[in-house]
Chain A
Amino acid sequence: MPQTIPPIIRIAKYTLTDEIRQKSFIVMFVICALFIFLVRGCYQGNFMVNGQTLDAETVIRVVSKLTFHVIAVGAMLLTALLSMRVFRRDRDEGMQSSILSKPIARWQYVAGKILGLWALSVSFMFVLHSIVFIIASINLEILLPEYLLASLLCSFNLLFVVVAVLLLSLLMSDVFAFLCVLGIGIVGVVADGIYALSHSPMAQAMIGQAGSQSDWTGWKAVYYLWPKLSGTERFASLLIGGEGLGPMYPLINVLFYVLILGALLFWRFRNEDII
């Protein structure tokens, strides 16, 4: 008997192909790929500081790490942009009612959407990271497999963005859903920055003098409890710097939020009216 594909995989496949069909997606991908190719000049130049030539490997690792972060952030933005319109477009184009009038449960529909968007955004990020990986490998004449591993670790951030934007797009307008997730990312970066600053010797001295420990406590709580998207990115990038694995907490934090927001998304969509 010929094998059939489960509905979740089918819905994921349709989501993926429908998004790739969008001209805006193709334009964004081409712009990003061009940006990566333009950066390749950094790998070939000889950099001199105070008359001393810098070690090529160090330069390549630093540039690769920088590009890694730019791509990871770009992929998160693109994922949020793609996810924010998915439910609305499906509703307007009649696919939502078409799918749900068949013996397909709502959780299967939502799971298919999440899977499709995640697969697309991870592929997008992985292809761009792979281009950097190839350029760096050619110039260094050694392979940097940890670069690709780091890219895969960042995919959990993309899963968070997909789930969060899909959930918020059910509660508010698409643009606000996008802006909210953008805000979550920015607050996370600020909290990380303030936490790092509070641990600097200068800040420690200031705290000691002013006795204002409580001023930092609020940010400390935000640092630990807020979705740690930038923390996960930094955790992954430590691999590229050859510094080994750092504390796992950011990754666990993001996975915990994915589970909580995912559960809320399934529950919310279960009670959603289909138009």
Chain B
Amino acid sequence: MIELSNTTKRYGSLTAVDNVSFSVKTGEYFALLGPNGAGKTTIVKMLLDFTKPTAGSLSVNGLPSTQSESRTAVGYLAENCHIPPYLSGWQYLQRCAELLNMNKSDAMRQCSRVIELIGMQGREHTKVSTYSKGMIQRFGLGAALIGNPKLLILDEPTAGLDPIGIREIRQLLESLKDQGMTIFLNSHLLSEVEKICDNAAIINNGRLLVKDAISALVKDSDTLEDVFVRLVKG
């Protein structure tokens, strides 16, 4: 479903992603881990063609990421999600549905379904400017779920959420995985990743350190956090 092959991204003299190759299979719950500035968000941006790789290639849904068709049935939640403050949550979701070429009745149906999924019933018609960061994050996730995507790319989906919110989002993502959705997750919350992900890759300074099943990475009495710290600190 996702394939990176010898992908490099340079910003001037800075190498953000350095010759990274890995793949994510259909139905996989995959986590991309790394410290701040490791190159995780750059990889996500290249997958969505928000930025072009300096070398190598990326493909999504079997198509080069530079083709807009590769983003068919892909849902995306940005890190620090923003929504126009003058819209209501409902209007934002409706726009996202309409941009997927849905007619009005389908868009309304999708919005109602998603609002229920993200637990925002009753708040969908108030202006985004009155929402908390966590609520904006939920609506951002809702927008990613519009149109029943086959692949979800989530950049820090639980940022700004309280512990109850984090738990609810985790349960929601688990149920989506059970429905066969492929999930590509960028996260700092290693304990959450350990609980729900099948596979993980750890990158540091743009280089891929390891990519394996969580069960293979975490052995004996170790936690994912121990493994992560050991690999990143060398």
Which residues from chain B contact A103 at a C-beta distance below 8 Å?
68-72, 74, 100
> Given the interface contacts A97-B50, A98-B143, A104-B68, does A4 sit within 8 Å of B101 by beta carbon?
yes
Contact between chains at A18 and B68 (CB < 8 Å)? no
| Contact flags A95-120 to B (C-beta < 8 A → 1, else 0) | 10111111111101000000000000
Interface residue A216 (Cβ < 8 Å from any Cβ of B): no
Contact between chains at A14 and B95 (CB < 8 Å)? yes
Interface residue A55 (Cβ < 8 Å from any Cβ of B): no
> Given the interface contacts A4-B101, A5-B98, A94-B78, does A101 sit within 8 Å of B84 by beta carbon?
no
In angstroms, how far is the closest chain B Cβ from the Cβ of A42? 39
Across the interface, name the chain A residue whose C-beta is closest to B50. A274
Contact between chains at B50 and A100 (CB < 8 Å)? yes
Interface residue B103 (Cβ < 8 Å from any Cβ of A): yes
Q: In the bound complex, how far is the Cα of B70 from the Cα of A102, in angstroms? A: 9
Which residues from chain A contact B50 at a C-beta distance below 8 Å?
97, 100-101, 273-275
Interface residue A3 (Cβ < 8 Å from any Cβ of B): yes
In angstroms, how far is the closest chain B Cβ from the Cβ of A11? 8
Contact between chains at B74 and A101 (CB < 8 Å)? yes
Q: In the bound complex, how far is the Cα of B45 from the Cα of A275, in angstroms? A: 8
Q: In the bound complex, how far is the Cα of B50 from the Cα of A94, in angstroms? A: 13
Q: In the bound complex, how far is the Cα of B84 from the Cα of A11, in angstroms? A: 14
Using C-beta atoms within 8 Å of the partner chain, give the interface range for chain A. Answer: 20 to 34
Q: In the bound complex, how far is the Cα of B95 from the Cα of A11, in angstroms? A: 9
> Given the interface contacts A93-B82, A94-B84, A103-B69, does A2 sit within 8 Å of B105 by beta carbon?
yes
- Which residues of chain A (68-126) have a CB below 8 Å from chain B? 92-95, 97-106, 108
In angstroms, how far is the closest chain B Cβ from the Cβ of A89? 8
> Given the interface contacts A104-B68, A273-B51, does A98 sit within 8 Å of B98 by beta carbon?
no
Interface residue B22 (Cβ < 8 Å from any Cβ of A): no
Which residues from chain A contact B86 at a C-beta distance below 8 Å?
18, 21
Interface residue B232 (Cβ < 8 Å from any Cβ of A): no
Across the interface, name the chain A residue whose C-beta is closest to B72. A103
Contact between chains at B69 and A101 (CB < 8 Å)? no
Interface residue B40 (Cβ < 8 Å from any Cβ of A): no
| Contact flags A1-31 to B (C-beta < 8 A → 1, else 0) | 0111101001100100010010000000000
Contact between chains at B100 and A95 (CB < 8 Å)? no
Interface residue A271 (Cβ < 8 Å from any Cβ of B): yes
- Which residues of chain B (71-95) have a CB below 8 Å from chain A? 71-72, 74, 76, 78, 81-86, 95
Across the interface, name the chain B residue whose C-beta is closest to A90. B84
Which residues from chain A contact B51 at a C-beta distance below 8 Å?
273-274
Contact between chains at A274 and B45 (CB < 8 Å)? yes
> Given the interface contacts A2-B105, A271-B52, does A10 sit within 8 Å of B98 by beta carbon?
yes
Contact of B83 among A7, A93, A100 (CB under 8 A): A93
Which residues from chain A contact B83 at a C-beta distance below 8 Å?
93-94
Contact between chains at B82 and A102 (CB < 8 Å)? no
In angstroms, how far is the closest chain B Cβ from the Cβ of A72? 30
Which residues from chain B contact A274 at a C-beta distance below 8 Å?
45, 48, 50-51
Q: In the bound complex, how far is the Cα of B96 from the Cα of A135, in angstroms? A: 44
> Given the interface contacts A21-B86, A102-B99, does A97 sit within 8 Å of B68 by beta carbon?
no
Contact between chains at B82 and A3 (CB < 8 Å)? no
> Given the interface contacts A101-B74, A274-B50, does A3 sit within 8 Å of B103 by beta carbon?
yes
Across the interface, name the chain A residue whose C-beta is closest to B52. A271
| Contact flags B179-195 to A (C-beta < 8 A → 1, else 0) | 00000000000000000
Interface residue B209 (Cβ < 8 Å from any Cβ of A): no
> Given the interface contacts A103-B68, A104-B68, A105-B68, does A7 sit within 8 Å of B84 by beta carbon?
no
What are 16 pairs between A and B in contact, CB < 8 Å?
Answer: A2-B105, A4-B102, A10-B95, A10-B99, A18-B86, A92-B82, A93-B85, A97-B48, A97-B50, A97-B76, A100-B48, A101-B48, A103-B68, A103-B70, A274-B45, A274-B51
Listed from nearest, the 10 A-B pairs whose CB atoms lie closest are A94-B82, A274-B50, A101-B76, A2-B103, A105-B68, A93-B84, A103-B72, A273-B51, A4-B101, A103-B71
Sample of 20 more A-B contacts, CB < 8 Å, known A5-B98, A7-B99, A102-B96: A2-B105, A10-B95, A11-B99, A14-B95, A92-B82, A94-B81, A94-B140, A97-B78, A98-B95, A98-B96, A99-B99, A100-B50, A101-B71, A101-B74, A101-B76, A101-B78, A102-B99, A103-B68, A271-B52, A273-B50
